[in-house]
A and B are shown apart, each in its own frame.
Chain A
Amino acid sequence: MIRVLLSLMVLAVSGGGAFAATFTNKDSETQVIVVTEDGTPREVTIDAGQSVDICPAGCFVTMPLGDRETFLGSESVDILGGVAVID
Chain B
Amino acid sequence: MVFSFARRLAGFLLLFALLQLPGLAIAQDAVTASDQPPAVAAAETALARSETRLSTLSEAVEDDAVDEAQLVELKVELDDLAQQMLEIGVSLRPVLSEIKARSTVLGDPPAEGAPAEAPETVAAREALAKERAQINALTGRAEAVSIRANRLGDMINERRKALFADTLTQRTPINGALFDQAASALSSEMRSFKSIVGSWVSFVWTFKFEALMASVFLSLLTGLFISMVGSRFIGRFINRDPANEAPSYLQRLTVAFWSAILPTAAVAAAFLAVLALMSAFSVLRDDITALLSAFSAAIIGLVLIARVAKGILAPRKPNWRLIRFTNRGARRIYHLILAMTLINAADFLLGKISSILGSPVIVTVVNSLVATILIGLILVGASRVKPMVGAAGDITAPGHAWPRWVQVALTVSGVGMVVLSLGGYVGLSKFISEQILLTGTILALIYIGFQSGHAVMEPGNFAQTRLGAKISRRFNPSAVRMDQIGLAAGLVIDVLVLIIGIPLILLQWGFRIQDIQLLLYRAVTNIQIGGISISLSGILIGLVLFIGLVVVTRLFQRWLDSTVMARSQMDPGVRNSIRTSIGYLGVVIAALFGVLAAGIDLSSLAIVAGALSLGIGFGLQNIVSNFVSGLILLAERPFKAGDWVQTGSTEGFVKRISVRATEIETFEKQSIIVPNSELINGTVGNWNHRNSLGRADVMVGAGYDADPEEVLRILEEIALAHPLVLRNPPPVVHFVDFGASSLDFVVKVFLADVLSQMAVKNDLRVAIYKRFKAEGIEIPFPKSDVNFTLKNVPDELLQQLAKSAGATGAKDSDEQDGPDAAKSSGGQPRRDAPEDGEADS
Contacts and interface: CB of A to CB of B under 8 A. Distances in A.
A12 B150 contact: no
Contacts of B153: 39
Contacts of B494: 3-4, 6-7
A83 B497 CA distance: 47
Contact of A70 (B90, B495, B541): B90
A16 B499 contact: no
B520 interface: yes
A13 B537 contact: yes
Interface residues of B, number: 48
A72 B499 contact: no
Given A9-B540, A12-B537, A18-B517, A67 B491 contact: no
B150 A10 contact: no
Contact of B146 (A3, A4, A7, A60): A60
A13 B499 CA distance: 12
A21 B490 CA distance: 36
Interface string A1-28: 0011011111111111010000000000
A66 interface: yes
Contacts of A67: 96, 132, 136
A23 to B, nearest CB: 15
B349 to A, nearest CB: 37
Contacts of A7: 491, 494-495, 497-498
B521 A12 contact: no
Contacts of B498: 4, 7-8, 11
Contact of B491 (A10, A71, A72): A10
A9 B521 contact: no
B523 interface: yes
B92 interface: yes
Contact of B139 (A9, A60, A86): A60
Contacts of A60: 86, 89, 139, 142-143, 146
Contacts of B770: none
A15 B154 contact: no
Contacts of B154: 39
B150 A39 contact: yes
Contacts, number: 107
Nearest to B153: A39
A69 interface: yes
Contacts of B151: 39
B495 A56 contact: no
B506 interface: no
A3 B96 contact: no
A72 B86 CA distance: 7
B30 to A, nearest CB: 20
A13 B540 contact: yes
A3 B498 CA distance: 11
Contacts of B537: 12-13, 15-16
B485 interface: no
B100 interface: yes
Contacts of B92: 70
Contact of B524 (A12, A36, A41, A71): A12
Contact of B142 (A9, A70, A86): A70
Given A4-B494, A11-B524, A69-B139, 20 more contacts: A4-B498, A7-B495, A7-B497, A11-B495, A11-B499, A11-B520, A12-B524, A12-B540, A13-B540, A13-B541, A15-B524, A16-B521, A16-B536, A36-B143, A39-B151, A57-B514, A60-B143, A60-B146, A70-B88, A71-B90
Interface of A: 3-4, 6-16, 18, 36, 38-41, 56-60, 66-72, 83, 86
Interface of B: 82-83, 86, 88-90, 92-93, 96-97, 100, 132, 135-136, 139-140, 142-143, 146-151, 153-154, 453, 490-491, 494-495, 497-499, 514, 517-518, 520-521, 523-525, 536-538, 540-541, 544
